[in-house]
Amino acid sequence: MLTGGTTEKLPAGARLLPEQQLAIAGTVCTMSFFQEASERAARRFDVDVILARHDSYPELLSAVPWDAAVRVSGDPLMLTDLVLYTRGVDDDWLVPSKVGPSLRIGRDDLHLLCEPPFLTWDERCTGVCEAAKRIVKATRPGLEG
């Protein structure tokens, strides 16, 4: 939970990582129902919030979209329908499913960038597929993605 037993109406199990100034959550609800809760938590705890919207079979039967409330000048900017993108061992991003800014997931916090981490759509597809494989491996041990 976040602090004081409250989750700000984020999904059960939401976690606050104060050193990273980040709250993380996940839900099997694939619709984007937690935008207001994410913005509220970002304001109350002065953190960025990322939320994975997965079903019971993430990346096997359906993609995992992500939402993020990122603090910009003190106010949360809501980004929805992001997808996980990975490049190399320790270079993970949330990139838009269509167009928009990207988020680099750093060890210290999230970094909002207007330029994507890839140059071509082939590079994007490779990074998104690699990230999907990692999700499958993490959620279904023994299964190769």
Could you give the CA distance from residue 23 to residue 49 in angstroms, rounded to a whole number?
5
Quick check: is 107 in a domain? yes
Quick check: is 4 in a domain? no
Quick check: is 9 in a domain? no
Q: What residue numbers bound the domain in which 84 lies? A: 15-139
Quick check: is 22 in a domain? yes
pTM: 0.86
- The tens place of each residue's pLDDT in the chain, 145 residues long, gives 454 445 578 888 899 988 889 999 999 888 888 999 999 999 999 999 999 998 888 788 788 999 999 999 889 999 999 999 999 888 999 999 998 999 999 887 889 999 999 999 999 999 999 999 988 888 887 765 4
Quick check: is 2 in a domain? no
Q: Is 131 helix (H, G, I), strand (E, B) or coil?
A: helix
Q: 41 Cβ partners below 8 Å, 6+ apart?
A: 2, 7, 8, 10, 14, 23, 47, 49, 69
> What's phi and psi for 126, nearest 5 deg?
-60, -45
Q: 112 Cβ partners below 8 Å, 6+ apart?
A: 70, 72, 77, 101, 102, 103
Structure tokens at 60: 């096997």
Quick check: is 53 in a domain? yes
Most distant pair of Cα atoms in the chain: their distance: 46
Domain count, the chain: 1
Quick check: is 88 in a domain? yes
Amino acid identity, position 57: Y
Quick check: is 7 in a domain? no
